[in-house]
């Protein structure tokens, strides 16, 4: 089997002590492709370093670097952020744009002391939308796919995307959690939707039903590692020193669970997702 992780964060500081053990584990688990997302200016150099070193040391793993300013990090950007982002994208023609997007949860529902948001200025939605459109325009100008994060802002996201222009190759709505009704209008604009193993938790029955409606030719699968840990039964890999983090080799278990959920043979799902991944991220 060849598994493709449409969205992870191998360059996250929390994974730095573990990356040298994770990379061979991915190959052993059959993971052949992954998109490594940067979320802020501070992690873009780490994404670039991984993209430079993995081909020589782990030739069985095809890594697509992705650079972007995540909505959580929008408020803390430096004045040079756009110039720096353009530099990383132009320097590597394989690179995608992401993770970018819109997040109303951070403003309306997140607890004031949520440790994941500590030290961040929570940018209002207008500012997030501005930055999102700027980065989307960069993806269009450079003909790169884009990876989009959206929580609690799907109406605004659809409106923003409909205003265009959009990346010709399409875009990924990572860990999509919007309504069933919005799948068709997003798909018409070129959306792919990636299923996350965390959606296998009992409380996410709505999301499992949602993913049963997504056209197979627009379906991708992701870990978002080190975030979004799946329930224990679907997370056979753990980082001994950091058990709360999601090991990206858990991807294979998510494929198996999704094949059962969608009533598709695992080999069929794997081949279809690989074709979708190649079309979106590799332009092939």
Residues that bind Zn ion (CB under 5 A): 99, 224
Dump the DSSP string for 85-125: HHHHHHH-TTPEEEEEEEESHHHHTS-TT-GGGTT-----H
Residue 31 to residue 62: CA distance in whole angstroms? 9
Nearer to Zn ion, 191 or 259 (CB): 191
Quote the CA–CA distance of 279 and 283 in Å, as a whole number: 5
Of 70 and 259, CB closest to Zn ion = 70
Supply the DSSP string of 131-193, one letter for each residue.
HHHHHHHHHHHHT--EEEEEES-HHHHHHHHHTS---TT-EEEET--S-STTHHHHHHTTEEE
In whole angstroms, how close is the CB of 72 to Zn ion at the nearest point?
Answer: 10
Q: Is-contact 255 4, C-beta < 8 A?
A: no
Residue 37 or residue 259: which is nearer to Zn ion going by CB? 37
Which residue's CB atom is positioned nearest to Zn ion?
224
C-beta of 12: minimal distance to Zn ion in Å?
A: 9
How far apart are CB 169 and Zn ion at their closest, in Å? 20
Per-residue tokens: 71: 């909505």
User: Which CB, 194 or 259, lies closer to Zn ion?
Assistant: 194
Tokens of 187: 């798909």
Provide the minimum distance between the beta carbon of 150 and Zn ion in the complex, in angstroms, as a whole number.
11
How far apart CA 252 and CA 222 sit, in angstroms, is 10
Quote the least distance from Cβ 76 to Zn ion, whole Å: 17
Closer residue to Zn ion, CB minimum distance, 178 or 259: 178
Comparison of 245 and 264: residue with beta carbon closer to Zn ion: 245
Minimum CB separation of residue 69 from Zn ion in Å reads 13
Q: 191-196 and 96-103 as β-strands: parallel, antiparallel, unpaired?
A: unpaired
């Amino acid at each position: 089997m060849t598994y493709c992780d449409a969205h992870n964060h191998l360059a996250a500081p929390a994974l730095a002590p573990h990356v040298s053990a994770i990379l061979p584990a991915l190959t052993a688990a059959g993971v052949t492709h992954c998109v490594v997302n940067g979320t802020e200016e501070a992690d873009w150099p780490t994404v670039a370093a991984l993209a430079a070193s993995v081909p020589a040391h782990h030739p069985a793993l095809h890594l697509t670097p992705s650079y972007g300013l995540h909505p959580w990090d929008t408020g803390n950007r430096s004045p040079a952020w756009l110039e720096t982002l353009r530099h990383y994208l132009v320097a590597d023609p394989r690179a995608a744009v992401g993770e970018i997007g819109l997040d109303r949860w951070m403003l309306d529902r997140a607890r004031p002391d949520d440790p994941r948001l500590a030290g961040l200025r929570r940018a209002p939605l207008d500012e997030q939308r501005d930055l999102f459109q700027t980065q989307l325009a960069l993806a269009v100008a450079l003909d790169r796919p884009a990876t989009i994060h959206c929580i609690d802002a799907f109406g605004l996201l659809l409106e923003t995307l409909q205003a265009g222009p959009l990346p010709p190759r399409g875009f990924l709505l990572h860990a999509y959690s919007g309504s069933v009704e919005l799948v068709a209008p997003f798909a018409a604009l070129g959306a792919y939707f990636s299923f996350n193993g965390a959606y296998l938790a009992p409380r996410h029955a709505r999301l499992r039903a949602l993913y049963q409606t997504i056209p197979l030719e627009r379906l991708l699968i992701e870990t978002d590692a080190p975030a979004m840990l799946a329930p224990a039964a679907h997370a056979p890999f753990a980082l001994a020193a950091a058990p709360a983090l999601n090991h990206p080799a858990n991807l294979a278990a998510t494929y198996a669970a999704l094949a059962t959920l969608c009533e598709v043979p695992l080999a069929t799902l794997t081949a279809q997702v690989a074709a979708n991944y190649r079309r979106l991220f590799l332009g092939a």
